[in-house]
A = this chain, B = another copy of it.
Amino acid sequence: AYSDKVIDHYSNPRNVGTLDKSKKNVGTGLVGAPECGDVMRLQIEVDEATNTITDAKFKTFGCGSAIASSSLATEWLKGKTVDEALSIDNMEIVEELALPPVKIHCSVLAEDAIKSAINDYRVKN
């Protein structure tokens, strides 16, 4: 049984898409889960004056829980500073979506994708 929130994000995922990775203020994270072989791409666009995330997009071939985790993550990212975004923990995603133990790695994928996108942004700046 999936929680209503997982079903909501799965049926109507937020912020699916692509940001222009050639832009200096866009960070791109691409990560994979060894558990299931799924991959996730997550991108952030940062307002450099305020260090605030103004946009976030994702794409994944992962399961319903991976889609829900990354959809939720992009919602949480918008409006946060880069430092605040770094402190997003996968267990907050697990709690919000009521993910079962076998799906925890899907939320880890989302956290890793956030950190990878931030790292890419920082390397570029």
Contacts and interface: CB of A to CB of B under 8 A. Distances in A.
Interface string A40-79: 0000000000000000000011111110000000000000
Interface string A19-59: 00000000000000001111000000000000000000000
A48 to B, nearest CB: 33
B61 A61 contact: no
A102 B65 CA distance: 18
A80 interface: no
Interface in A66-108: 66, 100, 102-103
A65 B62 CA distance: 8
A100 B39 CA distance: 13
